Amino acid sequence: MSDSAEQSDEDLAAAWGAGLEEEATTMPVQPARVLNQAEIDSLLGFDEGPSSGDNRTGIQKIISSGLISYERLPMLEIVFDRLVRIMSTSLRNFTSDNVEVGIDNIVSLRFGDYLNSIPLPAMLAVFKAEEWDNYGLMVVDSAMIYSIVDVLLGGRRGTAAMRIEGRPYTTIERTLVERLIHVVLADLSASFDPLCPVSFRFERLEVNPRFATISRLSNAAVLARLRIDMEDRGGRLELMLPYATLEPVRELLLQQFMGEKFGRDSIWETHLAEELWNTEVDLDVVLDEQVLRLSDVMRLQVGSRIILNTPPDSTVALRCGATTLFEGRVGRRKNRVAVRIEKPIIRAQAGMV
Nearest to 312, CA basis, from 289, 331, 327, 290: 331
**Element (DSSP H or E) covering residue 79:** helix 74-95
CA distances from 183 to 78, 86, 176 (A): 20, 10, 11
pLDDT at 353: 38
The single-letter DSSP state of residue 31 is P
pLDDT at 50: 41
Do residues 223 and 115 lie in contact, with contact meaning Cβ atoms separated by under 8 Å? no
pLDDT at 352: 44
**Element (DSSP H or E) covering residue 60:** helix 58-65
**Element (DSSP H or E) covering residue 327:** strand 323-332
Residue type, 233: R
Do residues 136 and 245 lie in contact, with contact meaning Cβ atoms separated by under 8 Å? yes
β-strand partners of 108: 222
Phi, psi of 189 (to 5 degrees): -65, -40
Do residues 239 and 105 lie in contact, with contact meaning Cβ atoms separated by under 8 Å? no
Per-residue pLDDT of the chain (353 residues; tens, 9 = 90+): 555 555 666 776 676 666 656 655 555 555 666 766 666 655 555 544 444 445 656 556 555 554 444 457 788 888 889 999 999 999 888 888 888 888 888 888 888 888 888 888 888 999 999 888 899 999 998 888 888 888 888 776 655 555 556 677 888 888 999 999 999 999 999 999 888 889 999 998 988 888 888 888 888 888 899 998 887 788 889 999 998 888 888 888 887 765 555 556 678 888 888 888 888 888 888 888 888 889 988 988 898 888 887 777 778 888 888 888 888 888 888 888 888 888 887 665 444 43
Do residues 123 and 140 lie in contact, with contact meaning Cβ atoms separated by under 8 Å? yes
Phi, psi of 154 (to 5 degrees): 85, 30
pTM above 0.85, yes or no: no
Residue type, 265: D
Buried b (16+ CB within 10 A) or exposed e, 209-229: beebbbbeeeebbbbbbbbbe
Buried b (16+ CB within 10 A) or exposed e, 71-110: eebebbebbbebbbebbbebbeebbeeebebeebebeebb
Do residues 109 and 68 lie in contact, with contact meaning Cβ atoms separated by under 8 Å? yes
Task: Give the neighbor-by-neighbor strand order of the sheet with 323-332.
Answer: 284-286, 315-320, 323-332, 337-344
Domains of the chain: 65-253 (3.40.1550.10), 281-294+307-353 (2.30.330.10)
The single-letter DSSP state of residue 212 is G
Q: Would you give the distance in Å from CA 188 to the centre of its chain?
A: 14
Q: How far apart are CA 174 and CA 155, in angstroms?
A: 17
Which 3 state secondary structure label does DSSP give 259?
coil
Residue 335 region by backbone torsions, left for phi larger than 0, else alpha for psi between -120 and 50, else beta = left
Roughly how many angstroms between the first and final C-alpha of the chain, as a whole number?
117
- Helix then strand count (H, E) for the chain reads 11, 10
